[in-house]
Structure 1
Amino acid sequence: MKHSSSPPDPRAAGAALVTVVLWASAFVSIRSAGAAYSPGALALGRLLAGVLVLGAIWAVRREGWPPRAAWRGIAISGVLWFGFYMVALNWGEQQVDAGTAALVVNVGPLLIALLGARLLGDPMPPRLLAGMAVSFAGAVTVGLSMSGGGGSTLLGVVLCLLAAVAYAGGVVAQKPALARGSALQVTTFGCLVGAVACLPFAGQLVHEVAHAPVSATLNMVYLGVFPTAIAFSTWAYALARTTASRMGATTYAVPALVVLMSWLALGEVPGVLTLAGGVLCLAGVAVSRSRSHRVTTPTPVAEPRPEQVS
């Protein structure tokens, strides 16, 4: 007997787990820092902190410049994901309530699956599709259970949708670059491209740093060091070892973790419907990450006829 696919890499699974935990924590920090920083300034400050950390690691490890063939994917993912996505999401979350933002942004993994299948030739096994359907249902449940608290605007919904599209496009562009450059190279220079794209907000950042409370600035630095420098690196490491569609499905664990962290850190006790949605998100991720074990029947070997035996 043999399995239809090789066993998953435990290091890649561990890297994906680090990513989703840190990305979930980012929502709590964005909520705090976003009260003192405008969307563009917050994105630029976060990216600059991330570039400093990533650049230091890159210099110490002496990985060198990314290969020329990797730069197209690095540039596209840097502008779309590190740059546009962060600004649009920060702005969108100021225009819609948390539930609506979570609901709209979670269109991203579905777009990744569609783009991955169309542009990268990613397989779409039934377990992956089923798991994503369950997780999306969970994200919808979480979003609906949390909506209505702060009101939403059409602009906010559009911004969150644009953020989801930029996220999907950035991931699909990053995948081929990881076949040519290392995870650290792709992440470091993608973050640098995003920071350069956000430089028009430098004036706002300088002005707001002078007036923002220390706690908000520390949250911005935290966003740069952990959910950006570390989490994007572990994401790239895992993405290089699996498909974009499967990695996108993994991020459906984020809404469930956000609910848990908001409960523990902010004292926001979730309702029964919210908890049920979180469980669905995690269940869907488990299904999408599992692998079917089809048994292949060995081809029978014909017995040699007597006249063939020497």
Structure 2
Amino acid sequence: MSTSSLSPEPAARRSARRPELLAAAAATFTVVMWASAFVSIRSAGSAYSPGALALGRLLAGALTLGVIWAVRREGLPPRAAWPGIAVSGLLWFGVYMVVLNWGEQQVDAGTAALLVNMGPILVALLGSRLLGDPLPPRLLAGMAVSFAGAIAVGFSMSGEGRASVLGVALCLIAAVGYAAGVVAQKPALGSASALQVTTFGCLVGAVLCLPFAGQLVDELSRAPASATLNMLYLGVFPTALAFTTWAYALARTTASRMGATTYAVPALVVVMSWLALDEVPGAVTLAGGALCLAGVAVARSRPRGRAEAVPAPAPSGK
């Protein structure tokens, strides 16, 4: 067999793997941005109340997304996508951001991270029940390893005397809102683009948070520039850009696998807090972060010779 007859096959394989690699890159960018959000929330949260911070973040995100959406001329999402956009906008962009900000004022960061990391487990359960997502043994094993790491990170970062019933309840509500928002968003991506779903989901969340407009205006006049810049950063990067790359990746894999990917966030938060806030992690924290990353690697791996059933990408031109 000649060399020329073999050459098209590697090229075809590279072409077939390109969407998978792009989705992996999008998921990686999302996880890094969401990890950085925890650091920025701690800074901005000292000057802004939970609702005002959520509204300011969502307004900055909606404005950024609106400009990109207008430049790309993607138009309105089709009617079939609106139920998923509305539910994800209300629960994930709206409820999740407000109650998480509030919850982190009631409990320490470690406890909050531990409780919110129930989210990927709920995504897997809801995705299996409502979307028919498979739950292969590797995914379940990886999520178990990552959750064990999240527990280690949470306990090692927990302070004393800061847990409250209200704070625990708020963090659990945040986890449920995140999970329900992801599962609701997935079907919408079958008929609308990632940019459309994210833009209008963010807008729905911003409208939901408008009752906090008075607080935002009042606190904006008194907040230090650093806190306001952190709020704007949260809106542009972890919200506008990272939620769009999340939706892009979610359209190309299952909700369960994408949920498992977010278990890398606690490990990255440990590193970022170390670098940005000079919070030196202990041995247990580092071990927990390593477990989180190891679990993500297991959850996203596939047995050799078996291809994952991946949904078709969202229609082009959206």
**CA offset at residue 148 of structure 1?**
2.1
**CA offset at residue 293 of structure 1?**
1.6
Equivalent residue runs for 1:133-152 within 5 Å: 133-149=144-160, 151-152=162-163
Gaps of 5+ in 1: 1-5, 297-310
Of 220, 240, 245, 1:229 maps to 240
Equivalent residue runs for 1:241-260 within 5 Å: 241-260=252-271
Asked if 1:218 corresponds to 2:229, the answer is yes
Match of 2:139? 128
Of 288, 294, 315, 1:283 maps to 294
Q: Pick closer, same or farther for the CA change 1:295–1:134 going to 2, 3 Å.
A: closer
Match of 1:80? 91
**CA offset at residue 238 of structure 1?**
0.1
Match of 1:205? 216
CA deviation vs aligned residue, 1:123-152 (integer Å, no higher than 9, x gap): 001100000000000000000111124611
CA distance in 2: counterparts of 1:209 and 1:142, whole angstroms: 33
CA deviation vs aligned residue, 1:59-101 (integer Å, no higher than 9, x gap): 0000000000000000000000000000000000000001100
* Residue type at the aligned position of 2:36: S
**CA offset at residue 295 of structure 1?**
7.4
**CA offset at residue 294 of structure 1?**
4.5
User: Identity of aligned pairs, percent?
Assistant: 79
Asked if 1:28 corresponds to 2:28, the answer is no
CA distance in 2: counterparts of 1:81 and 1:144, whole angstroms: 26
Structure 1 stretches of 4+ with a deviation exceeding 3 A read none
CA contact (8 A) 1:97 1:150 kept: no
Instruction: Using structure 1 for the length normalisation, give the TM-score.
Output: 0.92
Asked if 1:163 corresponds to 2:174, the answer is yes
Gaps of 5+ in 2: 1-15, 308-318
Instruction: Using structure 2 for the length normalisation, give the TM-score.
Output: 0.90
Of 26, 30, 43, 1:19 maps to 30
Larger Rg: 1
Asked if 1:239 corresponds to 2:250, the answer is yes
Match of 1:114? 125
CA contact (8 A) 1:82 1:191 kept: yes
CA distance in 2: counterparts of 1:40 and 1:151, whole angstroms: 21
* Residue type at the aligned position of 2:253: T
Asked if 1:38 corresponds to 2:52, the answer is no
Of 61, 74, 83, 1:63 maps to 74
Match of 2:190? 179
Cα RMSD over matched residues? 1.3
CA distance in 1: counterparts of 2:95 and 2:160, whole angstroms: 27
